[in-house]
């Protein structure tokens, strides 16, 4: 990963220092504290409403954890000592997704995964076409357009970083595309659940929509979980299907730019795809298969499910803590406009897909 892209993604802050686990502890403790406060806030509000016989909406711990993290990160200038720990946010997301496999029967995964795959293929084709067309209309650089298209069609930051290396993209373009994706992901985090409730979408429909339309995996899962726990699980499944396509999409762009003489040759396509296949998706499938083969009893599956929830709690706290509201819209204006317009159109396209899929397969 290039330093500029990594820095924009918030995953690399102190280069050329020996790695020490202790560097992670302050940030990890902060994420755990924020997540715990989120849980307390949910329980506290519910208890307050019950004691006062009030009918207050149930605000999930997910939303509390993100909001508390957002407020902390954007009001108090967090010391650098916390950054390394907060950057483990994506690690906890992947741990949570793999462990969540224990709460899915493999048959359900394959059935829902099949439906997801059909929807994801349409979503990716539609999103790529739309984003490339919009980028051309707004006169964006072709490689920046490719990175934005990959980021919105597949899976946000990871896809942009993978694509940048494969098409010899500029660091600055990757940083711009990542900043735009993160900014739009933060907006989607709050907009999607509100729209879902306004449209009275079912938990499953919303989970599929969130998995299809929200770009970055952490934001996609969080948006689902803000809506409901079931929606969060469905969002994980659909988003993982989308993530599994990363290699194919990046390979397509790598071949295109190589033919134009502006990127290296690909070499073995199988090795290219294997190197870019997200391992955590296979880990999720492996744990689901093991649970379906009764490798874990009900109690053990429950424990694994709860471990997954704790991992997600750290992730959601980290999502809030890493979101820089002030820096978000300092990005170059045109890529952000293209990204925002594209996101709105993709949200509409995927909403239509979900409604159609619901009519055909009864999600």
Q: Site residues (CB under 8 A) for another protein? A: 91-95, 98-99, 102, 274, 279-280, 282-283, 286-287, 290, 295-296, 299-300, 303-304, 306-307, 309-310
Residues 6+ apart with CB under 8 A from 246: 154, 155, 158, 159, 162, 276, 277, 278
Q: How far is the CB of 43 from another protein (least distance, A)?
A: 12
Closer to another protein by Cβ: residue 138 or 310:
310
Q: Which is nearer to another protein, 212 or 218 (CB)?
A: 218
Q: Can you say how many angstroms the Cα of residue 22 is from the centroid of all Cα atoms in its chain? A: 27
* C-beta of 33 vs 352, nearer to another protein: 33
Q: How far is the CB of 99 from another protein (least distance, A)?
A: 5
Burial grade of 253 (CB within 10 A; 0-12, 13-18, 19 or more): buried
The residues near 284 (Cβ < 8 Å, ≥ 6 apart) are: 97, 98, 100, 101, 104, 236, 240
**Nearest C-alpha neighbor of 211 from the set 179, 243, 163, 187:** 243
Tokens of 225: 């979980």
C-beta of 61 vs 192, nearer to another protein: 61
| Lookup: tokens for 314 | 């750290």
Which secondary-structure segment (H or E) carries 97? helix 89-100
Name the minimum Å distance from CB 78 to another protein: 24
In the complex, least distance from residue 308 CB atom to another protein, rounded to whole angstroms: 9
Tell me the C-alpha distance between 347 and 15, whole Å.
Answer: 38
Judged by DSSP in three states, 297 sits in: coil
Cβ contacts of 177 within 8 Å, gap of 6 or more: 144, 147, 148, 151, 160, 335
In angstroms, what is the minimal distance from the CB of 237 to another protein? 16
90/215 with CB nearer another protein: 90
The nearest distance, CB 278 to another protein, in angstroms, is 8
Nearer to another protein, 155 or 212 (CB): 155
Shortest distance, CB of residue 102 to another protein, whole angstroms? 7
Task: Give the sign of the dihedral formed by CA 281, CA 311, CA 156, CA 351.
Answer: positive
d(CA 263, CA 24): 37
Which is nearer to another protein, 10 or 342 (by Cβ)?
Answer: 10
Q: Give residues with Cβ within 8 angstroms of 29, minimum separation 6.
A: 85
Closer to another protein by Cβ: residue 255 or 286:
286
C-beta of residue 11 within 8 angstroms of C-beta of residue 1: yes
**Smallest separation (angstroms) from another protein to the CB of 344:** 32
Cβ of residue 307: shortest distance to another protein, in angstroms? 5
């Amino acid at each position: 990963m290039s330093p500029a892209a990594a820095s924009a993604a918030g995953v690399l802050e102190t280069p050329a220092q020996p790695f020490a686990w202790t560097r992670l502890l302050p940030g990890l403790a902060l994420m755990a504290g924020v997540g715990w406060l989120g849980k307390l806030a949910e329980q506290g509000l519910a208890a307050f409403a019950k004691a006062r016989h009030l009918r207050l909406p149930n605000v999930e711990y997910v939303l509390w954890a993100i909001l508390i993290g957002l407020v902390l990160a954007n009001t108090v200038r967090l010391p650098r000592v916390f950054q390394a720990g907060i950057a483990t946010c994506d690690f906890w997301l992947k741990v949570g997704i793999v462990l969540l496999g224990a709460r899915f029967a493999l048959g359900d995964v394959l059935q829902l995964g099949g439906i997801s795959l059909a929807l994801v293929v349409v979503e990716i084709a539609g999103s790529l076409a739309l984003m490339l067309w919009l980028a051309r209309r707004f006169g964006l650089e072709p490689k920046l357009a490719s990175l934005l298209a990959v980021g919105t069609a597949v899976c946000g930051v990871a896809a942009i970083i993978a694509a940048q290396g494969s098409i010899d993209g500029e660091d600055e373009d990757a940083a711009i595309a990542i900043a735009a994706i993160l900014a739009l992901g933060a907006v989607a985090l709050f907009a999607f659940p509100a729209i879902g409730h306004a449209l009275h979408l079912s938990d499953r429909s919303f989970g599929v929509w969130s998995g299809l339309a929200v770009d970055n995996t952490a934001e996609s899962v969080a948006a689902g979980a803000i809506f409901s726990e079931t929606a969060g699980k469905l969002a994980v499944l659909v988003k993982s299907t989308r993530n599994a396509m990363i290699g194919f999409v990046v390979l397509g762009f790598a071949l295109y730019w190589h033919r134009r003489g502006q990127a290296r040759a690909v070499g073995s396509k199988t090795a290219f795809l294997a190197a870019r296949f997200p391992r955590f998706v296979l880990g999720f499938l492996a744990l689901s298969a093991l649970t379906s083969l009764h490798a874990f009893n009900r109690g053990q599956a429950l424990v694994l499910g709860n471990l997954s929830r704790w991992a997600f709690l750290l992730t959601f706290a980290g999502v809030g803590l890493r979101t820089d509201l002030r820096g978000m819209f300092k990005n170059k204006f045109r890529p952000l406009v293209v990204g925002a317009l594209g996101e709105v159109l993709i949200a509409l396209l995927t909403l239509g897909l979900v409604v159609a899929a619901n009519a055909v397969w009864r999600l």
